[in-house]
Structure 1
Amino acid sequence: MSTFWFSTLRIVVKDRQRCTILTQNSIRYSFKLFLWLTRFFRVLDYRFDGIDKLDQDAGCIVVANHPSLLDYVFLASCMPRCDCIVKQSLLDNIFMRGVIKSAGYIANSESDILLPQCQQILDSNGMILIFPEGTRTTPGQTMHLQRGAANIALRCHADIRLVTIHCDQPMLTKQGKWYNIPPVKPRFQIVVKEKISAKDYTADGDSSPAIAARRLTQTLNQKLIPEPVQTNEKK
């Protein structure tokens, strides 16, 4: 899809905004199919809670913890629009470059370029997905969040929607190999939680942007701790 379909979209569809929407819709529906197949073949199971809240989050930043390689797949499959911040180095990957450019994803380059791009997406009712850990969580270790998500929210005056992801069996972690399948079918639970207003952290005029970002990051660190997976089989 990256080599042929998304590259073709960029060539054929001249309107950049329309190309972005078509690409993100293609990603969403292909991920829905992929997840349905994993459940159908009993590779894993998953449950979404409060997913309808995302329909209200145009112009919002979605922040989630990051235990598995599938986290982006789960969220991109159900978000009405999913704009991502990706590593600059991925643009050098022949298999990733096409989809990144076609989907309008943002490379994590210098902040003077990154912030205006984020502001433009949020102003056009986009939704930016950020994993503030920067990488997948090491199982059994405490989360350590970077301040990038908080800085973007504060400087772009955007609300943050919290999402927690939990899996009862470690799968596709940073240390694990993709072919190491857990002995028991893993169950993922994706919970869409409350929304945080960045304005609450800038209301105090005596606080500097750095202090506000530190306070907001501390709040995110507390609220992104996932709850145990429920055993209910229903989606």
Structure 2
Amino acid sequence: MVLEPQMTTVSSRLNRLWRIFATGFCFSLFGLGGLLLSLIWFNILLVCVRNPSRRRRIARRSISQSFRFFLWVTKVMGVLDYRFHGEAILRQEKGCLVIANHPSLLDYVMLASVMPETDCMVKAALLHNPFMSGVIRSADYLINSQADSLLPACQQRLAKGDTILIFPEGTRTRYGEPMTLQRGAANIAVRCASDVRIVTIGCSERMLDKQSKWYDVPPVKPVFDVTVGDRLAITDYYDANLQEPALAARQLNRLFLSQLQQSHPET
């Protein structure tokens, strides 16, 4: 009877050590995959597929499939688990903004894995990341520093039926701090007359957040829950004949905040 708690403790420690090793392996796999896509596959596409739209579509689908494989590996190796509530909705979404909270480094990976042709708003700094720059350029993602061309580009892509993924916090959530949103997503929704789909991401444990290192593995395996909300029709929240765009964007931003706070970690 005395040995049972000790054996449980040893088992827990061994499990955590395994997950630290497995997490390091998965990070290496992710980095290697990004380099191989950038150096080999995307260059093959550049040579063999002359049509830019078709090349971009193939690149985005390749990224999505790669992310699905990566997440499958993390699940099989026991690094984490994840559940989607409304995956089919995201997979078929067209012509709207998808906004989500950002508790973990894996949020984009999870959402892009089930959105095979999604566009994404990314930080300009990622263009200097050797593991991500080729991916970003080949997928023709929107760069948030291109202020003059950003809004027209969003309008053009949404009109063509593209879906644009945005994390309005701008960076990963900080535990124990109030959630704040940048107003860019709300401004795009208002000025491009775009509907919005809100997605909330929750995690049972802290993992890969803004204040953690990759090796800060939680005591137990984390479980991510991705919940797809209703599609918000912009016409329900903005009338160009009655409201100023800036005021409507502020009001819409408050709505986004109230919905995304449902999954905000307080501790």
Q: TM-score, normalised by structure 2?
A: 0.81
Partner of 1:231: none
Kindly indicate whether residue 160 of structure 2 is the aligned counterpart of residue 107 of structure 1. Answer: no
Partner of 1:165: 201
Question: Which one of the candidate residues 208, 211, 216 is aligned to 1:175?
Answer: 211
Question: Which one of the candidate residues 158, 161, 165 is aligned to 1:125?
Answer: 161
What is the rounded CA distance, in whole Å, between the counterparts of 1:96 and 1:191 in structure 2? 26
Q: Does the aligned pair in 2 maintain the 1:62–1:163 contact within 8 Å?
A: yes
Question: Which one of the candidate residues 42, 62, 67 is aligned to 2:98?
Answer: 62
Q: For 1:224, what is the secondary structure of its paired residue?
A: helix
Over 3 Å counting, the alpha-carbon distance change for 1:37 and 1:56 in structure 2 is closer
Q: Does the aligned pair in 1 maintain the 2:99–2:168 contact within 8 Å?
A: yes
Q: For 2:109, what is the secondary structure of its paired residue?
A: helix
Question: Which one of the candidate residues 100, 103, 125 is aligned to 1:89?
Answer: 125
Question: Which one of the candidate residues 109, 114, 122 is aligned to 1:73?
Answer: 109
Percent identity (aligned): 52
Q: Does the aligned pair in 2 maintain the 1:165–1:226 contact within 8 Å?
A: no
Deviation at 1:110, TM superposition (A): 3.6
85-94 vs 107-116, which moves further:
85-94
Q: CA RMSD in A?
A: 1.6
Stretches of structure 1 that go unaligned for 5 or more consecutive residues are 229-235
Partner of 2:253: 217
Q: Which has the higher Rg, Structure 1 or Structure 2?
A: 2
Q: TM-score, normalised by structure 1?
A: 0.91
What is the rounded CA distance, in whole Å, between the counterparts of 2:185 and 2:75 in structure 1? 32
Paired residues, number:
228
Stretches of structure 2 that go unaligned for 5 or more consecutive residues are 1-36
Q: Does the aligned pair in 2 maintain the 1:7–1:99 contact within 8 Å?
A: no
Q: For 1:225, what is the secondary structure of its paired residue?
A: helix
